[in-house]
Amino acid sequence: MQFDTFQKFSKDSVDAALTSFGALSRGIQSAAVEAADYAKRSFEQGSQTVEKLVGARTVENALEIQGEYLRSAYEGFVSQTTKMGELTSATVKEAYAPVEGLVAKARVA
């Protein structure tokens, strides 16, 4: 009887590990896509700012353009950092859920 219990627990462990690995893979892929999108947006924003700076007619105008860029870049960074934190948290929760269920079963047995 104990062999059957051990065999079932081993199968459940493998299933939990595979489910957890799948969640981690999806989370990492989502984070990579999000990071690439952010990098693209940041590059485009920087390029547009350089174009505006080239067309600036006065020093005051150039400082205004630079200030707008810095404000926008900072806000984008804070937003992206928050989004990546939420994505990471969700990934960890999803990946841990199968293991948590397995631990709960082990405590009962």
pLDDT digits (tens, 9 = 90+) for 39-68: 999 999 999 999 999 999 999 999 999 999
pLDDT digits (tens, 9 = 90+) for 69-79: 999 999 999 99
> Distance of alpha carbon 25 from its chain centroid, rounded?
12
Rounded to 10 degrees, what is the CA torsion of 26, 28, 30, 36? -150
pTM of the prediction?
Answer: 0.77
